[in-house]
Structure 1
Amino acid sequence: MTTKTVLITGTSSGIGLATAIAAAEGGWHVIATMRDTAKSAALSAAAEKAGVSVDVRALDVTDPASVAACVAGLDGLDALVNNAGAGHVGTLEQDSIDDVRAVMETNFFGVLNITKAALPLLRASSGRVLTVTSVGGIVGQPFNEAYCAAKFAVEGFMEALAPVAASVGVSVGVIEPGAVASEFVNNVGVDDTLLAKAGPYAPALTAYLGRTREAFANAQHPDEVAAQIVEQLDATQPAFRTLTSDLARAFTGLKLSDTDGSAVQHLTATWIA
Structure 2
Amino acid sequence: MTSPKTVLITGTSSGIGLAAALGAARAGWNVVATMRDTGKADALRAAAAEQGVDGRVQVKRLDVVEPETITACLDEVVAEHGRLDALVNNAGAGSVGTVELVGLDDFRAAMEVNFFGVVATTRAAMPHLRASRGRVITVTSVGGVAGQPFNEPYCAAKFAVEGFMESLAPVAATVGVDVTVVEPGAVATEFVTSMGIDRGAALAGAGPYAPALRTYFERIDGVFATAAQSPAEAAAPITEALTCDRPAFRVQTSARARDIVGAKLADLDGSAVQAAAGGLLR
Residue 226 of structure 1 deviates from its aligned partner by: 1.5
1:201 to 201, 209, 215: 209
Q: SS state of the match for residue 187, structure 1?
A: helix
After TM superposition, the structure 1 = structure 2 runs for residues 146-225 of structure 1, keeping only pairs within 5 Å, are 146-191=153-198, 192-217=200-225, 218-225=227-234
Separation in 2, partners of 1:196, 1:69: 44
The yes-or-no answer on 1:79 pairing with 2:80 is: no
Which stretch of structure 1 is more off in the superposition, 13-22 or 219-228? Answer: 219-228
Residue 236 of structure 1 deviates from its aligned partner by: 0.7
Which stretch of structure 1 is more off in the superposition, 125-134 or 91-100? Answer: 91-100
**Partner in structure 2 of residue 12 of structure 1:** 13
**Partner in structure 1 of residue 258 of structure 2:** 249
Residue 38 of structure 1 deviates from its aligned partner by: 0.3
- What is the number of residues matched between the two proteins? 258
Q: Which runs of 4+ in 1 moved over 6 A?
A: none
Q: TM-score, normalised by structure 1?
A: 0.93
**Partner in structure 2 of residue 239 of structure 1:** 248
Separation in 1, partners of 2:207, 2:41: 39
Q: SS state of the match for residue 27, structure 1?
A: coil
Separation in 1, partners of 2:156, 2:189: 22
The yes-or-no answer on 1:98 pairing with 2:102 is: no
**Partner in structure 1 of residue 117 of structure 2:** 110
**Partner in structure 2 of residue 65 of structure 1:** 68
After TM superposition, the structure 1 = structure 2 runs for residues 35-46 of structure 1, keeping only pairs within 5 Å, are 35-46=36-47
Q: 2:163 corresponds to which letter in structure 1?
A: G
The yes-or-no answer on 1:141 pairing with 2:144 is: no
Q: SS state of the match for residue 255, structure 1?
A: helix
Residue 125 of structure 1 deviates from its aligned partner by: 0.1
Q: TM-score, normalised by structure 2?
A: 0.90
Separation in 2, partners of 1:67, 1:79: 15
Residue 129 of structure 1 deviates from its aligned partner by: 0.2
Residue 59 of structure 1 deviates from its aligned partner by: 0.3
Residue 189 of structure 1 deviates from its aligned partner by: 2.1
Give the RMSD, CA atoms, in angstroms.
Answer: 1.1
